[in-house]
Amino acid sequence: MRLAKYLAHAGVASRRASEALIRAGRVTIAGEAVTDPARDVEASSGVAVDGEPITGAESRVVYALNKPRGVVSTAQDTHGRATVVDLVPAGRRLYPVGRLDADATGLILLTNDGELANLLSHPRHEVPRTYRVQVAGPPLGEPAVRALREGIELDDGRTAPAGVRRLGAHELELTLHEGRNRQVKRMCEAIGRPVRALERVRLGPLALRGLAAGAHRRLTAAEVERLRAAAKPLRSTPG
């Protein structure tokens, strides 16, 4: 098995994060640092990260968490703030799938399944994310809703068409298939409606319903499979 995949299966980090660990020289095999994520390894190879032995794959788990405001979506925080990992005492390494800003709330997943994390977080898999958004500024009229639906020109390019449902004069439901940084906030700012509150209410087929702020639950095997099925397969590049 390739080294990056081995680390992801062992619950160290997602596949891409594992590749970064390897290239940073933090991974050793039999005491020697390696920087090639494609290096073949097995359980008896003596893999370690920062000197800590990695014994192999552990059972994979996925948790849904209703992230409260003020909690950061990282495994650790250099400023000592509470993290989403702190709220799910699972007794094993977990890392968040994607991220929500500290002032945002709602559904976020934590897992030790690197392959699933990559499926759900890679923009090319187009897993839909639905947000309930409260905005400031003038009441939301049809021109503003239509602009969001058709795509907004941002500094990193035009956004893809979005699903938009107006819930009130200053509230809407927005479904995106992209994963750009702070995309919801930037789209709303571009139409003159700064975001006052942002809550993720759905990720693919999984809804937030039934979880109080700060609460979490482990997903069933059926829920995990539905999440996998929500990720579109990547198109092959013509050779």
Name the DSSP letter for residue 72. Answer: B
User: Does the residue 112 lie in any domain?
Assistant: yes
Digit-coded pLDDT (tens) for 11-65: 777 778 889 999 999 999 999 999 999 999 887 889 999 998 887 666 789 999 9
Q: Is the pLDDT of residue 129 over 90?
A: yes
Residues 174 and 80 in one domain: no
Q: Is the pLDDT of residue 197 over 70?
A: yes
Contact in structure between 206 and 227 (CB atoms under 8 Å) = yes
Residues 177 and 68 in one domain: no
User: Does the residue 235 lie in any domain?
Assistant: no
At residue 218 the predicted structure's pLDDT band, cuts being 50, 70 and 90, is very high
The bridge status of strand 105-111 relative to strand 62-67 is antiparallel
Name, in order, each residue with C-beta under 8 angstroms of 86's C-beta and a sequence gap of 6 or more. Answer: 71
pLDDT for 62 equals: 94
Closest CA to 10 of 134, 95, 78, 133: 95
pLDDT for 69 equals: 96
Quote the CA–CA distance of 34 and 21 in Å, as a whole number.
10
Residues 135 and 188 in one domain: yes
Quote the CA–CA distance of 163 and 174 in Å, as a whole number.
6
Residue of higher predicted confidence among 45 and 71? 71
Q: Which domain holds residue 28?
A: 3-53
pLDDT for 68 equals: 97
Residues 17 and 117 in one domain: no
Quote the CA–CA distance of 53 and 38 in Å, as a whole number.
19
Residues 112 and 144 in one domain: no
**Torsion sign, CA atoms 110, 128, 202, 171:** positive
User: Does the residue 174 lie in any domain?
Assistant: yes
Residues 224 and 117 in one domain: yes
Q: Of 11, 31, 53, at which residue does a domain stop?
A: 53
Average pLDDT, the chain: 90
Length of the chain: 239
Residues 25 and 69 in one domain: no
Q: Is the pLDDT of residue 237 over 70?
A: no
Mean pLDDT confidence for 157-184: 94
Contact in structure between 219 and 206 (CB atoms under 8 Å) = yes
pLDDT for 235 equals: 55
Q: Is the pLDDT of residue 163 over 60?
A: yes
- Our count of domains for the chain comes to 3
**Catalytic positions, written as ranges:** 101
Cα angle 67, 207, 87; round to 5 = 25
What's the CATH code of the domain at 197? 3.30.70.1560
Number of CB atoms found within 10 A of residue 9's CB? 20
User: Does the residue 192 lie in any domain?
Assistant: yes
Q: Is the pLDDT of residue 190 over 90?
A: yes
Residues 147 and 189 in one domain: yes
Closest CA to 44 of 35, 54, 34: 54
Q: Is the pLDDT of residue 232 over 80?
A: no
Mean pLDDT confidence for 163-172: 97
Q: Which amino acid is at 145?
A: V
Q: Is the pLDDT of residue 125 over 90?
A: no
Cα angle 38, 44, 49; round to 5 = 60
Residues 168 and 178 in one domain: yes
pLDDT for 75 equals: 83
Residues 101 and 216 in one domain: yes
Contact in structure between 56 and 10 (CB atoms under 8 Å) = yes
At residue 239 the predicted structure's pLDDT band, cuts being 50, 70 and 90, is very low
